[in-house]
Amino acid sequence: MAPWRKHSVGRVSRPQFQWIVICFGVLLSFANNSSGYFYSDSSAEASNDRFCFCQLQGTIDDCSCSVDTVDYYNNVKIYPRLKSLLVKDFFRYYKVHLNKDCPFWVDDSKCAMRFCHVEHCEEKDIPPGLKGDASSYHKYIKEVQTLTNCNEDLDVELGYLNTSISDKAHKEFQRWADYDEAQDNFCILDDHEPGAEYVDLLLNPERYTGYRGESARRIWSSIYLENCFQAHSVKKKNAYSAMIPYQDMARNEVCLEHRVFYRMISGLHSSINIHLCANYLLSEKGSLGFMAPTGVWGPNMEEFERRFSPHMTDNEGSHWLRNLYFAYLVELRALAKAAPYLRNEEYFTGLEKDDREVKTAVKDLLTVIEGFPSHFNETAMFSGGTSSIKIKHEFREKFMNISKIMDCVGCDKCRLWGKLQVQGMGTALKILFSGKFDDKIDEGFDTRLKQQSPSLRLKRGEIVALFNAFGRLSTSIHELEEFRQRMR
């Protein structure tokens, strides 16, 4: 310190001062690198990338909407409403079959970590209105089947009409109806199957459980390599070529329908990764050093950078984040399109006060969603004549296949949220592309008529999945802003 005390700054020569500044900058750089938040790249551009790769700007691909518009509309208007709505009983209890075998490969690599386990509901906790057979559309009443007022003027033999229908015939009729309805579905619905149980989503939040390795990689590899439409330029089967490179998208080497499919899957993947980074298992021990019953959870900045930074993703990470916004806009549009239908739902749980509050909250949310200025335009898709029919069929079959892959996830909690979010996205696709929701519904539409209409039909599980899946995308955009704030 002595030399610094002898000389004032004014007496240091210009070359000496420049070297001091340079050396100080180098030392500061090494200090920052030792924290683990910077990668070993000495260029100024690389340092800026760390702060900028998740700071997205401009329009969203294949949409007319900007990132800034979505950020404001979601974080200020939509996310707070969804956050208070999805804790209500109608949306927190989701019926799902978590014990189905993987239909594609033999895999017994179950996650052994305690945080992979799903806490099931006790019977007493399930709202009374959900315990009945809510999935049945037709209830055959014996009194309706019996003819009690015959016209005596008609010949008894010639005028006789047998109105009795056997239980076997009724089951066949239901099978026909289920088959017809399934043609509009984009995912598997298994809440009616034996073995399906109600799960309280609030007891089983989506977060990083430690499930990783070959089993987890196989899920996403199968989704991208076998079910996404691949670009012609994709030849290698590595981690990045499994996903369509952004340059192929930018050069329009992939048609609109294929781009939409890929961007939705990529957006879902990004959303899940953000949830895992924002709710990461930091430690299994509490502050006192003992094993914590629930673990210690919180945001993991290094994991977020590993999954999205340009250095770790071959410069694709920011494009994956943009796909999150695209998936959000697709599901936002589905909710807006089905808004008249959803306003007429009763959201019945048997708890009158809660049901009334939920219905009011849903109407308020739908009004906000309908007011969004730049909705995704689904009418531009599947409009190319005969060829578009084939593409639409492939689109539906591939997404149906992805919903089956969710039964191959080795972590029960990951399987739960994977199935729910894929089903929610599949329900959005059903609304947008089945043609059943294209006609506007009168606001005074009679609920009883709606229940009988074959062209307007969503099961409770589909509605719960639709809102919760959109809630996950909304939460991801909100958490992405929080990551930006921390990185600044």
Residues in CB range of 14: below 8 A, 6 or more apart: none
Reported in sequence order, the residue ranges of 232-322 that DSSP labels E, i.e. its strands, are 280-285, 291-298
65 is a catalytic site residue: no
CB 191 within 8 A of CB 95: yes
- C-alpha closest to that of 40 among 270, 309, 319, 316: 309
**Per the annotation, does 207 bind a ligand?**
yes
Find the angle CA(137)-CA(142)-CA(145) to the nearest 5 degrees. 90
Reported in sequence order, the residue ranges of 273-355 that DSSP labels E, i.e. its strands, are 280-285, 291-298
In whole angstroms, what is the distance from residue 486 CA to residue 442 CA? 47
In whole angstroms, what is the distance from residue 421 CA to residue 340 CA? 23
**Per the annotation, does 29 bind a ligand?**
no
Using left for φ > 0, alpha for ψ between -120 and 50, and beta otherwise, residue 439 falls in beta
187 is a catalytic site residue: no
**Per the annotation, does 457 bind a ligand?**
no
From the list 54, 111, 277, 411, the catalytic residue is 411
Task: Give the three-class secondary structure for 464.
Answer: helix
DSSP 398-452: HHHHHHHHGGG-SSHHHHHHHHHHHHHHHHHHHHHHSSTT-SPPPTT--HHHHHH
**Per the annotation, does 269 bind a ligand?**
yes
From the list 54, 65, 408, 414, the catalytic residue is 414
**Per the annotation, does 209 bind a ligand?**
yes
Residues in CB range of 410: below 8 A, 6 or more apart: 107, 109, 110, 111, 116, 211, 215, 216
- C-alpha closest to that of 128 among 165, 90, 184, 159: 90
Q: Give the 3-state DSSP-derived string for 207-251, with helices as H, strands as E and coil as C.
A: CCCCCCCHHHHHHHHHHHHHHCCCCCCCCCCCCCCCCCCHHHHHC
In whole angstroms, what is the distance from residue 315 CA to residue 274 CA? 17
**Per the annotation, does 266 bind a ligand?**
yes
In whole angstroms, what is the distance from residue 286 CA to residue 117 CA? 20
In eight-state DSSP terms, residue 295 is: E
| HSE, side-chain direction, 13 A CA sphere, residue 225 | 14
Known binding-site positions for FAD: 207, 209, 220, 266, 269, 307
> Which residues are designated catalytic?
411, 414
| Binding-site residues from annotation | 207, 209, 220, 266, 269, 307
